[in-house]
Structure 1
Amino acid sequence: MTEISGMAATETGFVVVNDSADEEPRRRIFFLDADCAVVRTVRYPTRPRDTEDLAVDAQGALWVADIGDNNRSRQTVALWKLPPGGRRPVLHRMTYPDGPHDAEALLMAGDGRPIIVTKQGGAAGLYAPTGDLKPGLTVPLERVGQVSLPGTTTSNPFSFLGRAVVTGAAMAPDGGRVVLRTYADAFEFDVVNGDVITALTRGTPRITPLPDEPQGESITYSRDGRFLLTVSETADQPPGTKPTILRYPVPAVAPASQPPTTGAPTAAAAGGPRAERERTSLLGVVGVVGLGLFIAGLLGMARSRRNGQR
Structure 2
Amino acid sequence: MKNKPAYILKVSCPGKVGIVAAVGNFLADRGCFIKEFHQFDDLESGRFFSTIEFVFEGNQQPSVEQLKAAFEVTALRFDMEWEIHDANQPARVLIMVSKYDHCLRDLLYRRATGELNIEISAIVSNHEDLRYLAEREGLDYIHLPVTKETKPEQEAKLIEIVEQTGTELVVLARYMQVLSDTLCQQLAGRCINIHHSFLPGFKGAKPYYQAYERGVKLIGATAHYVTGDLDEGPIIEQMVERVDHAQDPQHLTQVGRDTEAQTLARAVKYHVRHRVFQNGLRTVVF
Same fold (TM over 0.5): no
TM (norm. structure 1) is 0.26
More helix by share: 2
TM (norm. structure 2) is 0.27
Please identify the structure whose Cα radius of gyration is greater: 2
More strand by share: 1
